[in-house]
Amino acid sequence: MLFKQQALLRQKLFVLGSLAIGSLLYLVARVGSLDRLQPLCPIDGRFGPRSQDEIPLRALQFKRGLLHEFRKGNATKEQIRLHNLVQQLPKAIIIGVRKGGTRALLEMLNLHPAVVKASQEIHFFDNDENYAKGIEWYRKKMPFSYPHQITIEKSPAYFITEEVPERIYKMNSSIKLLIIVREPTTRAISDYTQVLEGKERKNKTYYKFEKLAIDPNTCEVNTKYKAVRTSIYTKHLERWLKYFPIEQFHIVDGDRLITEPLPELQLVEKFLNLPPRISQYNLYFNATRGFYCLRFNVVFNKCLAGSKGRIHPEVDTSVITKLRKFFHPFNQKFYQITGRTFNWP
């Protein structure tokens, strides 16, 4: 009796095993045939059409991964050649102004997959020693990029240095130039604050802003003070206009870039003839920092350095009033030349 039960059990196990093997073979054959067929629902379609404002993930992965390795010098010449990468001269330069938001603008534009930024200020055109090294030295300071991408660098000293407009013109007379400005008095105080912090770090003493900004002999605005002189935007711009038409400049509102960056970035995209790719998704407000941070994708986020947004020292209100009155006529002329008006007092 026991022998018959064992034989029956072996027979059932054999049948079940045969069915299992047959099912497995069927699935393998089915998968192989599916690989050869056009899928009924492509992967892109499952999530709907991609928004025009969404940055292609593939481009982002390239920029943050492979290109990063090339910048670190980990790529061979053969790898660079195979990937069709080049070091291009910039097609656009953020020429100023200091403490206007040049770093923030550069980092935000780098959100665009068609933009590749130089990570450091090159100071080629404003530094005689660097300029003497030649244009190829300058090119070698640029990041690797695809030929269709735009390389952008920023050196805010360019805007106020007399020799720079002619030097850039000789390199590329059709280059696009970006100027980011803030309310002139606020910018001057921000300029002072950065220098003050550097002095304090070295345990050095420094004059108060009021003493530097106002001539003690005349009690008038001290135009020899660099922070004041830099804020006379129209004087510097007039020097640039001797070489470049106003159409090659784009003025960015640095104050608005802090509080409402997306509209300003969209204007720059249009000026640079770039397809719109930067969206609100890429910008999120960090309440702790008090600034917008950058979101490249679901993995990679970036905030500006902690040195941004320094607390300004208190400045005598009468000095602020005097400076604003001084800058007013220059501001009006700046509005007239650029065609862009700001709500500066």
* 7-46 tens-digit pLDDT: 545 555 454 555 455 554 444 444 343 333 333 333 233 2
Look at the domain 81-338 and name its fold: Rossmann fold (3.40.50)
Mean per-residue pLDDT, 214-221:
95
- Residue-averaged pLDDT of the chain: 83
Asked if residues 199 and 241 have their Cβ atoms less than 8 Å apart, the reply is no
Q: Quick one: pLDDT at residue 303?
A: 87
Q: How confident is the model at residue 80 (pLDDT cuts 50, 70, 90)?
A: low
More confident residue, 84 or 125: 125
Binding residues, as ranges, are 99-103, 182, 190, 292, 308-312
Q: Quick one: pLDDT at residue 311?
A: 86
Q: Quick one: pLDDT at residue 304?
A: 80
Tokens of 315: 């400045």
Spatial distance between the Cα atoms of 234 and 256, rounded to a whole number of angstroms: 20
Sign of CA dihedral 312, 315, 318, 319: negative
User: 90-104, 138-152, 301-315 — which is least confidently predicted?
Assistant: 301-315
- Residues recorded for the chain: 345
Please give the single-letter amino acid code of residue 283. Answer: L
Q: How confident is the model at residue 262 (pLDDT cuts 50, 70, 90)?
A: very high
Kindly tell me if the per-residue pLDDT of 6 is higher than 60: no
Which of 149, 132, 130 is closest to 88 using CA atoms?
149
Q: Quick one: pLDDT at residue 301?
A: 86
Kindly tell me if the per-residue pLDDT of 306 is higher than 50: yes
User: 81-95, 256-270, 298-312 — which is least confidently predicted?
Assistant: 298-312
Q: How confident is the model at residue 192 (pLDDT cuts 50, 70, 90)?
A: very high
Binding residues for 3'-phosphoadenylyl sulfate, as ranges, are 99-103, 182, 190, 292, 308-312
Kindly tell me if the per-residue pLDDT of 55 is higher than 60: no
Asked if residues 269 and 112 have their Cβ atoms less than 8 Å apart, the reply is yes
Mean per-residue pLDDT, 243-268:
97
Q: How confident is the model at residue 204 (pLDDT cuts 50, 70, 90)?
A: confident
User: 16-20, 129-133, 178-182, 269-273 — which is least confidently predicted?
Assistant: 16-20
Q: Quick one: pLDDT at residue 297?
A: 84
Which of 197, 219, 215 is closest to 206 using CA atoms?
197
Sign of CA dihedral 281, 178, 60, 150: positive
Annotated catalytic residue, options 99, 117, 154, 176: 99
Q: How confident is the model at residue 52 (pLDDT cuts 50, 70, 90)?
A: very low
Q: Quick one: pLDDT at residue 29?
A: 42
Q: Quick one: pLDDT at residue 222?
A: 98
Asked if residues 103 and 154 have their Cβ atoms less than 8 Å apart, the reply is yes
Kindly tell me if the per-residue pLDDT of 336 is higher than 60: yes
Asked if residues 230 and 327 have their Cβ atoms less than 8 Å apart, the reply is no
Burial class (CB in 10 A: 0-12, 13-18, 19+), 94: buried
Q: How confident is the model at residue 49 (pLDDT cuts 50, 70, 90)?
A: very low
Q: What is the pLDDT of residues 151-183, one digit of tens each?
A: 999 999 999 999 999 999 999 999 999 999 999
Q: How confident is the model at residue 195 (pLDDT cuts 50, 70, 90)?
A: very high
Q: Quick one: pLDDT at residue 292?
A: 92
- Going from N- to C-terminal start, the domains of the chain cover 81-338
Spatial distance between the Cα atoms of 132 and 20, rounded to a whole number of angstroms: 78
Backbone region of residue 161 per phi and psi (left: phi > 0; alpha: psi in -120 to 50; beta: other values): beta
User: 54-58, 269-273, 283-287 — which is least confidently predicted?
Assistant: 54-58
Kindly tell me if the per-residue pLDDT of 255 is higher than 80: yes
Which of 251, 252, 233 is closest to 331 using CA atoms?
233
Between the alpha carbon of residue 55 and those of residues 42, 45, 100, the distances in Å are: 20, 17, 27
Phi/psi at 302 (5° precision)? -155, 135
Does the annotation count 99 as an active-site position?
yes
Q: Quick one: pLDDT at residue 82?
A: 58
Spatial distance between the Cα atoms of 345 and 343, rounded to a whole number of angstroms: 6
